[in-house]
Amino acid sequence: MSLVPKHIKQLSPYKPGKTIESVKRKYNIKHIVKLASNENPLGPSKKALDAVSDILFNSHRYPDASGLILREKLANSFDVKIDNVILGSGSEGIMSSIMRTFLKEKDELISSENSFIGFRVLANASGKKTNWIPKKSFRYDLKAIAEKINRNTKIIYIANPDNPTGTYITKDEFDSFMSNVPDRVLVVLDEAYFEYANHIEDYPDSMFYRYDNVITLRTFSKVYGLAGFRVGYGFAHQDLIGNLMKVKLPFEPSSSSQVAAIAALDDLNHLDKTIALNKKEMIRVCQFLKDNKFNFIPSVANFVTIVFNSRNDTVNASNFLLKNGVIVRDLIGFGLPCSIRITIGKESENEVFMQKISEYIGNL
Ligand SMILES: Cc1ncc(COP(=O)(O)O)c(C=O)c1O
């Protein structure tokens, strides 16, 4: 249709992980283990749910457009001013606002191949030229990214740790990269898995740097277990935040999402439990993969990517798991056609995964 611009016609829509309901129906299976979307296997914090149930009777009211209480709480927790904090419908909601706020005519973007697909979809939808830089050993090649900066470059996107590879950029790499990025270029540092990686000594927590041209994005979708609520937050210089606030949808996130996130921030016990479970189970799953000679990418997040020898092997393994009630993520959409990504689940869920993939290799 001529109403639709060419770059939109050419877009491939975002393909999320399969839902539990769709797999139940298709394969007529009652019990499904979903290890496909890097969600918190322990679910949401009970405190968050209690807080939400209290405010549902106020659902006829619009949300607080300024997100005051949640922004204040985040500002206090991270020792910044409220004017440095933005909220959105997930961190992807903020990414979308970033595109609409800062990009103009000839602006270009730079990111990496095989990185977070959500950013790729938004970059392609923006209609701007994006330079996708190949990774080196499944890691961002920051040197190559810096070398690609030209006078039209406006946004550089880096996910740290990255999804789907689970690798991270180090403090030294980040320092030397930033010394090559001009102030007129905005660096979007997506730290959706920050809480899983923050204990690593050479992991650069971007909140310590406070560059005026860096936006840090974080989310309640992962470690906080609130993916269904859609709450993301970002930190940046107040000038950037002030302009983003003009462009974002006024009432995102919803009232219940704001309330859930406020309560989740106070539930440190749930946070600690989630991180401890992931740590323990990551070791167990990786040991299993090693013992069974799988080729996988060591990860500092809450998922691990297995690399197969061919597309055929990948499809066969992922279909076998699916038919046996285990949903994993085929990474063809991420540009890794020979890989699947497995979210680290609860002990019992990982057990099912290991048992089923053992059956699969046993049948080969
Ligand atoms: C690197 C990365 N950034 C952002 C997101 C999306 O987060 P949100 O649910 O806050 O939009 C994800 C989700 O998978 C992700 O892996």
What is the DSSP code string of 160-197?
SS-TTT-----HHHHHHHHTTS-TTSEEEEE-TTHHHH
Residues 230-234, mean pLDDT to the nearest whole number = 98
Best residue for ligand 1 mutational test, from 114, 165, 219 (most atoms within 8 Å of Cβ): 219
Strand order from edge to edge, sheet including 329-330: 295-297, 303-307, 339-343, 329-330
The whole-number pLDDT of residue 40 equals 98
Ligand 1, atom 2, lies closest to the CA of: 192
Predicted confidence (pLDDT) per residue in 72-91, tens digit: 999 999 999 999 999 999 99
Confidence of residue 305 (pLDDT cuts 50, 70, 90): very high
Q: Using CA atoms, how far apart are residues 113 and 135, in angstroms rounded to an integer?
A: 6
Residue 236 has pLDDT above 80, yes or no: yes
Q: Delineate the domains of the chain, giving CATH numbers in brackets.
A: 6-43+269-362 (3.90.1150.10), 47-267 (3.40.640.10)
Confidence of residue 194 (pLDDT cuts 50, 70, 90): very high
Cβ of 167 below 6 Å from ligand 1: no
Instruction: Tell me if residue 343 falls in helix, strand or coil.
Output: strand
Cβ of 190 below 6 Å from ligand 1: yes
Query: Angle at Cα 309 formed by Cα 281 and Cα 364, nearest 5°?
Result: 80
The whole-number pLDDT of residue 16 equals 75
Predicted confidence (pLDDT) per residue in 89-98, tens digit: 999 999 999 9
Residues 6+ apart with CB under 8 A from 208: none
Predicted confidence (pLDDT) per residue in 306-324, tens digit: 999 999 999 999 999 999 9
Residue 15 has pLDDT above 90, yes or no: no
The whole-number pLDDT of residue 46 equals 96
Ligand 1, atom 7, lies closest to the CA of: 91
54 CB-side CA count, 13 A: 10
Instruction: Tell me if residue 67 falls in helix, strand or coil.
Output: coil
What is the DSSP code string of 73-86?
HHHHHTT--GGGEE
Residues 96-123, mean pLDDT to the nearest whole number = 96
Q: Which amino acid is at 307?
A: V
| DSSP letter (8 states) at residue 136 | B
Residues 11-21, mean pLDDT to the nearest whole number = 82
Q: Using CA atoms, how far apart are residues 155 and 149, in angstroms rounded to an integer?
A: 10
Q: What whole-number percentage of the chain has pLDDT above 90?
A: 90
**Mean pLDDT score of the chain:** 95
Q: Using CA atoms, how far apart are residues 291 and 294, in angstroms rounded to an integer?
A: 8
Cβ of 258 below 6 Å from ligand 1: no
Q: Mean pLDDT check: name the lowest of 19-33, 226-240, 272-286.
A: 19-33
Predicted confidence (pLDDT) per residue in 125-173, tens digit: 999 999 999 999 999 999 999 999 999 999 999 999 999 999 999 999 9
Confidence of residue 363 (pLDDT cuts 50, 70, 90): confident
Cβ of 118 below 6 Å from ligand 1: yes
For the CA of 159, the closest atom of ligand 1 is: 1
Q: Is the pTM of this model over 0.85?
A: yes
The whole-number pLDDT of residue 210 equals 82
- Measure 127 CA to ligand 1 centroid, in angstroms: 21
Cβ of 90 below 6 Å from ligand 1: yes
Residue 2 has pLDDT above 90, yes or no: no
Other CB atoms within 10 Å distance of the CB of residue 79? 8
Q: Which amino acid is at 28?
A: N
Which residues are paired to 214 by β-bridges? 187
Predicted confidence (pLDDT) per residue in 30-43, tens digit: 899 999 999 999 99
Looking up tokens 């283990």 gives 33
The whole-number pLDDT of residue 1 equals 62
- Spatial contact of 296 and 327, defined as CB atoms under 8 Å apart: no
Residues 285-294, mean pLDDT to the nearest whole number = 97
Looking up tokens 């740097």 gives 209
Residue 288 has pLDDT above 90, yes or no: yes
Q: Which tokens belong to 78?
A: 């991270």
Q: Using CA atoms, how far apart are residues 99 and 219, in angstroms rounded to an integer?
A: 18
Residue 117 has pLDDT above 90, yes or no: yes
Q: What is the CA radius of gyration of the chain?
A: 21
